[in-house]
């Protein structure tokens, strides 16, 4: 069975290279019993990949069960997964088989695995290693033969660094990871998916199939789709139900698209008060750049105020030139610009004009604006953090607010070893 036949069988739409690679990996691993870890944002279709793996495996005639770990209360999840004995807790009026026992010989898909409590993670680790488990309230060891497929929209390695996920379980689960791309990473597939959903809805509601004008199609492709395929499908259904005209314009489409969030970082009040470093490295570097820009703006205001506070502009200029030169030189040295500053009168003004204005510029005409290269600032910040912590990467990563794994990657990228 080739890739296109698999797409047709499981209703997978798209030709993105990233999507194709994820599907090829799923097809290759399906005949084995290896534990598979599917990673991707909410709404990308992780459960569809688990069904593909099950249906193409030797367990296809056995049961398949999908469970959202985040939807089960912490107090009952051990009972749901492993079962319980009568009287094990209040309300346990009878013996109960857990999912791992009832799905024996088949496949169980654990979605949002990162939401599992630490105690349940310990039980799951034992089951993965030797197929053994114990019911809640029992001392008898039982065995089961199930294939476990897990999925999450979190970075489990990051969760291990925070102590929220067992490191040994993480390495046991990530034997073979499959990364399902977000919809914004499958740009060429967005319109194909819309057409597929529109055709299905036209058949469902016995109505004409929707069409987009050129501007609406362009708007559809430019949107970031934070809810991924699920969001696109919901939007298509809203249009099919609420719009009487099957020809959709850009103005009509805009009414159904939520406003996109700014990509610029913003710390929550909780982060600001607690000093939490639980935000992305991109946010950190953007914040540094904005702070530097604000400092330069304040510096320019100070210099202009100095030049305005006297009746004799030549006098105040002459008296404060050394101070201005020193302050600007310090700022320039921090922002990789020339430290030689020239202060001259605006040539466009007449000699008789009492209200003179002065121009401040570097001698070599280099712009005083700071270097806004993210990579340069990132490399500089990493060097400072490593120097501050005497080369101890764990502490440097904590200061930067990023994981050790990300820091190792950046050190290798910038050849800082």
What are the pLDDT digits (tens) for 48-90? 999 999 999 999 999 999 999 988 988 889 999 999 998 888 8
Percentages (nearest 5) of helix, strand, coil residues in the chain: 50, 10, 35
Pairing of β 341-345 and β 358-362: antiparallel
Nearest to 310 by CA among 359, 362, 358: 358
Q: Please tell me the distance from the alpha carbon of residue 169 to that of residue 164, in angstroms, as a whole number.
A: 11
Contact, 10 vs 52, CB < 8 A? yes
Reading phi first (left if > 0) and then psi (alpha if -120 to 50, else beta), residue 104 is in beta
What crossing angle do the helices spanning 404-413 and 374-388 adopt, rounded to 10°?
A: 120
Which pLDDT value is given to residue 121? 94
Domain annotation for the chain: domains and CATH numbers = 3-181 (3.40.50.300), 186-254 (1.10.8.60), 282-362 (no CATH), 373-413 (1.10.10)
**CB contact set of 147 (below 8 Å; sequence gap of 6+):** 33, 35, 54, 57, 59, 106, 107, 108
Distance CA(169)–CA(166), nearest Å, equals 5
pLDDT of residue 277 exceeding 50, the answer is: no
Query: Is pLDDT above 60 for 362?
Result: no
Q: Judging by DSSP bridges, how do beta strands 141-143 and 211-212 pair with one another?
A: unpaired
Query: Residue 41 and residue 168: Cα distance in Å, rounded?
Result: 23
CA distances in angstroms from 297 to 67, 265, 341, 346, 370, listed in the order given: 54, 20, 17, 21, 11
- pTM for the whole thing? 0.61
What is the mean pLDDT of the segment spanning 314-335?
A: 54
Distance of alpha carbon 327 from alpha carbon 368, whole angstroms: 13
Give the pLDDT confidence of 196-219 residue by residue, as tens digits: 999 999 999 898 999 999 999 999
Token duo for residue 109: 């898909």
């Amino acid at each position: 069975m080739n890739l296109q036949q698999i797409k047709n069988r499981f209703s997978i739409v798209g030709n993105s290279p990233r999507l194709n690679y994820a599907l090829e990996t799923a097809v290759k691993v399906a005949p084995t019993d290896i534990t598979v870890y599917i990673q991707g944002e909410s709404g990308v279709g992780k459960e569809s990949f688990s069904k593909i793996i099950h249906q193409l495996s030797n367990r296809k005639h056995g049961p398949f069960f999908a469970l959202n770990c985040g939807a089960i209360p912490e107090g009952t999840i051990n009972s749901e997964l492993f079962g319980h004995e009568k009287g094990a807790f209040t309300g346990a009026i009878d013996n109960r088989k857990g999912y791992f026992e009832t799905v024996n010989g088949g496949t169980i898909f654990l979605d949002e695995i990162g939401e599992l409590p630490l105690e349940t993670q310990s039980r799951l680790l034992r089951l993965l290693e030797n197929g053994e488990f114990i019911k809640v309230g029992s001392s008898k060891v039982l065995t089961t033969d199930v294939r476990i497929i897990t999925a999450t929209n979190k970075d489990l390695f990051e969760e291990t660094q925070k102590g929220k996920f067992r490191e040994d379980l993480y390495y046991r689960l990530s034997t073979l990871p499959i990364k399902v791309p977000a919809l914004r990473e499958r740009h060429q597939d967005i319109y194909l998916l819309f057409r597929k959903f529109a055709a299905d809805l036209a058949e469902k509601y016995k109505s004409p199939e929707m069409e987009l004008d050129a501007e609406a199609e362009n708007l559809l492709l430019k949107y970031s789709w934070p809810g991924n395929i699920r969001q696109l499908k919901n939007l298509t259904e809203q249009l099919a139900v609420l719009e009487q005209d099957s020809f959709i314009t850009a103005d009509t489409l805009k009414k159904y698209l939520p406003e996109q969030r700014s990509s610029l970082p913003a710390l929550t009040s909780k982060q600001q008060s607690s000093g939490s470093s639980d935000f992305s490295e991109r946010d950190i570097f953007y914040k540094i750049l904005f702070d530097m820009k604000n400092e330069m703006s304040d510096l320019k205001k100070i210099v202009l105020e100095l030049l305005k506070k006297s009746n004799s502009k030549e006098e105040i200029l002459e008296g404060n030139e050394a101070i201005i030169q020193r302050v600007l030189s310090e700022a320039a040295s921090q922002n990789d610009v020339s430290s030689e500053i020239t202060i001259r009168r605006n040539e466009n003004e007449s000699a008789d004009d009492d209200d003179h204005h002065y121009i401040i510029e570097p001698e070599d005409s280099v712009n005083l604006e700071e270097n806004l290269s993210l990579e340069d600032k990132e490399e500089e910040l990493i060097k400072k953090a490593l120097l501050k912590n005497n080369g101890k990467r764990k502490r440097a990563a904590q200061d930067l607010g990023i994981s050790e794994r990300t820091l190792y990657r950046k050190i290798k990228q910038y050849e800082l070893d």
